[in-house]
Amino acid sequence: DAGVIQSPRHEVTEMGQEVTLRCKPISGHNSLFWYRQTMMRGLELLIYFNNNVPIDDSGMPEDRFSAKMPNASFSTLKIQPSEPRDSAVYFCASTPQGTGELFFGEGSRLTVL
């Protein structure tokens, strides 16, 4: 089985540009999570979905960040406009509902110049 698939793997953009990160969860997993990882702050939960419904978005830093899950096999995380402090690795993870065992994608490394 394919794991969690994220794209792009690397993104370099200039401040002010829109960034869209994509994620395809493992088939059959009910929950999807977006995390951001930096050296200073570690892994931070941005938002998670259960059965395509956003459940907790309290970790979304500000209105520049938005996430959608239009169906069970696809989610996006959008940053508009991007800023240098958004530079980080963004991980998507999925899990069967209620297990707490996350399966991570390979991550999207974002650099905002």
Q: Which residues of the chain form contacts with other proteins (CB under 8 A)? A: 31, 33, 35, 41-43, 45, 48, 50, 55-56, 91, 95, 97-102, 104-107
> Minimum Å distance from CB 45 to other proteins?
5
Taking alpha carbons only, the member of 87, 52, 85 closest to residue 67 is 52
Nearer to other proteins, 20 or 106 (CB): 106
Check if the beta carbon of residue 36 is closer than 8 Å to that of residue 90: yes
Nearer to other proteins, 33 or 79 (CB): 33
> Minimum Å distance from CB 80 to other proteins?
25
Nearer to other proteins, 40 or 70 (CB): 40
Q: What distance in Å separates the CA atoms of residue 51 and residue 81, rounded to the nearest whole number?
A: 28
> Minimum Å distance from CB 20 to other proteins?
20
Long-range contacts of 8-11 (CB under 8 A, 24+ apart): 8/108, 9/106, 9/107, 9/108, 9/109, 10/108, 10/109, 10/111, 11/108, 11/109, 11/110, 11/111
Nearer to other proteins, 54 or 81 (CB): 54
> Minimum Å distance from CB 33 to other proteins?
7
